[in-house]
Amino acid sequence: MSLKQDLYCHRCGKISCFCRYQKLFYDDAVIACRYENAAVPSVLKLKQTRNTNFAVFSARILAQRLQNPVYGKADCIVPVPMHPAEIRRRGYNQAAVIAAELSGLLGIPCRDDILFRNKSIAQHLLNAQERAKNVENFGIHPVSAENLHIILCDDVLTTGNTMSRCAELLKSAGAFRVTAASAATALRKADKKFRNN
Ligand SMILES: [Zn+2]
């Protein structure tokens, strides 16, 4: 599991990226590690067994990186929301667990009263086209995020569509900057050449 900081794009959070051709609503991205090797079972444990070791571990790295002055001091941390039925089924939202850790380390409040999620199908079961449509299932409560710099937190950054859709909603409520913070970034086929770095 590589923790090297310079191996992902600081704009989009992907390793071999084409974000200059993409419309992304988040402004920058901070990643703890690549989604490979030990990170894969660690994320699964976090999702399925209440083992929060990976949340603690990744939040520490994210916090360290977010303390770089280029990110400034954000106003709040917003976890990518999960549907309430899904939270009841699993017992918690793993993105919120990472966000809570990050909140403690950075001394920045967590807010789960801004975004919500309607029932949706797990992203990993969908193809690219269906994924893009699935992100429409996020919504925003009628609250103001006027002039806020928000750290948007998730466990795995896959296509970036989820983070981008959530950032779009936050900006529609007035947020001026959204920094995507993800514990892991999923690899694309084109990333293989970087594998042994
Ligand atoms: Zn990029």
What CA–CA distances, in Å, run from 59 to 104, 155, 180? 10, 10, 13
Q: Could you tell me the distance, in angstroms and rounded to a whole number, from the CA of residue 8 to the centre of ligand 1?
A: 8
With cut-offs at 50, 70 and 90, classify the pLDDT of residue 194. low
The alpha carbon of 196 and the centre of ligand 1 are apart by a number of angstroms equal to 20
Instruction: Give the residue from 138, 140, 147, 175 showing the smallest Cα distance to 25.
Output: 175
Rounded to whole angstroms, how far apart are CA atoms 184 and 170? 22
Is residue 197 very low, low, confident or very high in pLDDT (cuts 50, 70, 90)?
A: very low
Mean pLDDT of the chain: 88
Arch. (CATH architecture) of 5-188:
3-Layer(aba) Sandwich (3.40)
Q: If you measure from the C-alpha of residue 143 to the centroid of ligand 1, how many angstroms do you get, rounded to a whole number?
A: 30
Residues sharing a CB contact under 8 Å with residue 70, sequence separation 6 or more, in sequence order: none
Q: How far is the CA of 61 from the centre of ligand 1 (A)?
A: 20
What are the domain boundaries of the chain? 5-188
Report whether 30 contacts 62 (CB < 8 A).
Answer: yes
Lowest mean pLDDT among 54-63, 86-95, 184-193: 184-193
Ligand 1 center–CA 12 separation, angstroms: 4
Q: Tokens 């520490």 appear where?
A: 60
Residue 140 pairs in a beta bridge with 115
How many Cα atoms occupy the beta-carbon half-sphere of 160 within 13 Å? 24
Q: CA-to-CA distance for 137 and 116, rounded, in angstroms?
A: 9
CA of 16 to the centre of ligand 1 (A): 7
- CA of residue 107 to ligand 1 center, whole Å: 28
pLDDT tops 70 at residue 41 = yes
Distance 15 CA to ligand 1 centre (A): 7
